[in-house]
Amino acid sequence: MIDFSRNHFELFGLPRGFQIDAGALEDAYRDVQRAVHPDRFAGATDAQKRLALQASARANEAYRTLRDPVARAEYLLSLHGVDAAAETDTRLSVAFLTRQLERREAAEEASRAHDVRALSALVDEVRSEANEAGADVARRLDAAPRDAQATVREWRFLVKLADDLDALCNAEADSWGGS
């Protein structure tokens, strides 16, 4: 099998770090898939077919993780032994959570009032705050991973919130724009 003890960066032959060359990642992913994809082993032995399936799924997982900045940051933390997703670690501050809860309520209200403009303004606001958190993580993660942990969690939270509000906004726009 492609060696499971290797991390995602090693699998693709890329330097480990938050800053990543997106083009090089994509090229490496395709090269690995060209070598291991089950379509290449349709006539092979059963042992090889099983391996191809595992290796190809592994490459997909690694690519998915490294391509997405938030997932990449969490993965890097996990390589440092910090589980960013675990509930037992540093919790989000009450002030932060309260603010996001208020935003969610405001979004639901705007949705009830069919106020697409207010909704999309809210999406933009959360999105830009998420981007700031991302920039902060980018500055700190490679140098001091443990210090970046709290920010990574906030970042994940904000990106999720922005996506949820975006979906709400789209549903609203669709129900009005649909003929």
Would you tell me which residues interact with another protein (CB under 8 A)? 1-3, 12-13, 24, 27-28, 30-39, 42-48, 51-58, 60-61, 63-64, 170, 174, 178-179
C-alpha to C-alpha distance for 153 and 90, rounded to whole angstroms: 9
C-alpha to C-alpha distance for 154 and 106, rounded to whole angstroms: 20
Smallest separation, CB 98 to another protein (Å): 24
| Cα–Cα separations (whole angstroms), residue 64 to 21, 26, 60, 92 | 14, 11, 6, 26
Q: Whose CA is closest to 18, among 74, 63, 62?
A: 74
Q: Would you say 22 or 174 has its CB closer to another protein?
A: 174
Q: What would the two tokens of residue 115 be?
A: 């106020």
Residue type at position 133: A
Q: Which residue has the tokens 């919790």?
A: 91
Smallest separation, CB 26 to another protein (Å): 9
Smallest separation, CB 34 to another protein (Å): 5
Smallest separation, CB 51 to another protein (Å): 5
Q: Whose CA is closest to 13, among 1, 35, 31?
A: 31
Smallest separation, CB 162 to another protein (Å): 13
Q: What would the two tokens of residue 108 be?
A: 């639901």
Cβ atoms of 108 and 177 within 8 Å: the answer is no
